[in-house]
Structure formats: structure tokens, C-alpha cells
Amino acid sequence: MMLHDSELQRKTLEVLSRHHAVITDTHVVFKSGKHGNAYVNKDAIYPHTKDTSQLCWYLALKFANENVEVVIAPAVGGVILSQWVAFHLSQISGKEVLALYADKEGEDLFVIKRGYDKLIKGKRVLVIEDVVNTGKSVRLVVEAVRKTGGEVVHVGVLVNRGGVTAQDIGNVPDLFALADVKLDSYGAGTCPLCHDKVQVNTDVGKGREFLAGRQPA
């Protein structure tokens, strides 16, 4: 069963809407440090295994003919996606597709540990992520895969909300998003929400850490 990209986007947005995963009229701080007035809360999806599996099946369908041997994602949330996408690819292809993840070390490094590096070398690798804002985490995982001798054949994400391109994440062959959601973002120093003293959302994103960093020592 193949679905057109427009149909995949429609179905993905239906799932996001059903679980109120797109939060609007708020003041959120993203992982990148930028601020915005809306947020894609992928954590609202993960507790619902049927819908999580469905979204990952859509991604698997997109890459069903690419002879993917390994799926890898950045920890932590991406681990769930890696498992489901690899499972569905295995079911579709009739051969085992491995599900791995990369560990974050510091702010600018992902490493492939736990013996996973031996499972990647010489393999065709699909990198998976949930939401990309700047693409930094995906780019670092792409770099880690290449350092271990894996071939990054594609990158697939649930939502591209930052207009990220294949060039932004290491000139990969292709970047595919189930849904493109354009949301405004601002530098912390030029944020109009901060200027208007709109309360920072501490339930999602990095708002709690942002406010803690502004507290006097």
C-alpha cells in the first residue's frame, strides 16, 4: 500500500490534532534556545502505541524500497520511533532490519555505543527523528553514523517545523517529513513574547531550564 505525500501529511496532522500535540498561543523555549508561540509536543503521541505505530508505519512505507538495513535515532524519544520503524520495515521486507540509537554526550556530540557501531559498519542506514527545529541532533547522528562506517541513505522525521533541508543536516541524500509545520521562532534577545512579558510555558520544551538560568545565584 503506497500513499501520496499529501495523504501522509493529512493523516499525520489528524493524529497530532487528536492528541492535541500542536500547542498554540503559548510562549515556549525550544531545545535550540529560540522562543516561539507554538509547539509540537511529540510526547503527547508516544503513550498511545497504536498511533505511534501508525505514524512509524507511514515512514516505513516511504522507505520500503530503499533496502534499509539499520534504523537509528537520537535518544531519548527517537528510540521509540527507531523500534517501530525497524519493526514495520522488517515486516514489509521479510528480513530483519535492526533498530539502534545514539547517545548524547554534551551539547555537540552523539556517539554510537553499546556495540552498535559494529552493527552499522558497511550497512545502509535510515536516520529517524520526531521533530526537527534546527536539525542539529539529526546532523550529529548522521555524523556519528558516517564515522562508524555506515551509509546514511535517508533521513525521515515525523514533523519538520523549522524548514530544515537535507543540506542542513550533512548533505544527506534525502530528508522526508510526514508533515511540514511552519511555526514562528525568535532569538531569546529579540523575542516579542519576552518583551510583552508573556509567561513562559514550563510544561513543554525548555522553559523550566530557561527560567532557572535567569535566576540570580
pLDDT in tens, 74-112: 998 899 999 999 999 999 999 999 999 999 998 889 999
pLDDT (tens place) for every residue of the chain, 217 residues total:
667 888 888 999 999 999 999 888 899 998 778 898 888 899 999 999 999 999 999 999 999 999 999 999 999 889 999 999 999 999 999 999 999 999 999 888 999 999 999 999 999 999 999 999 889 999 999 999 999 999 999 999 999 988 899 999 999 999 999 999 888 889 988 999 999 999 999 998 899 999 998 754 4
Adjacent-strand bridge partners of 28: 36
| Signed CA dihedral, 116, 121, 126, 132: sign only | positive
5-202 carries CATH number 1.10.3370.10: no
Q: What is the DSSP letter of 187?
A: -
Q: For residue 215, how many other CB atoms are within 10 A of its CB?
A: 6
Cβ within 8 Å of residue 30, ≥6 positions away: 36, 39, 133, 185, 205, 206
Task: Kindly report the number of other CB atoms within 10 A of residue 13's CB atom.
Answer: 16
Residue 178 pLDDT: 95
End-to-end CA distance of the chain: 58
Question: Backbone phi, then psi, for 95, in 5-degree steps?
Answer: -135, 155
Question: Which pLDDT value is given to residue 215?
Answer: 55
Residue-wise DSSP of 125-160:
EEEEEEEESS-HHHHHHHHHHHHTT-EEEEEEEEEE
Helix/strand/coil for 60: helix
C-alpha cell at 88: 514495520
- For residue 149, give every residue at least 6 positions away whose Cβ sits within 8 Å of its Cβ, in sequence order, or none: 120, 121, 122
In this structure, how many other beta carbons lie within 10 angstroms of the beta carbon of residue 104? 15
- Confidence (pLDDT) at 216: 46
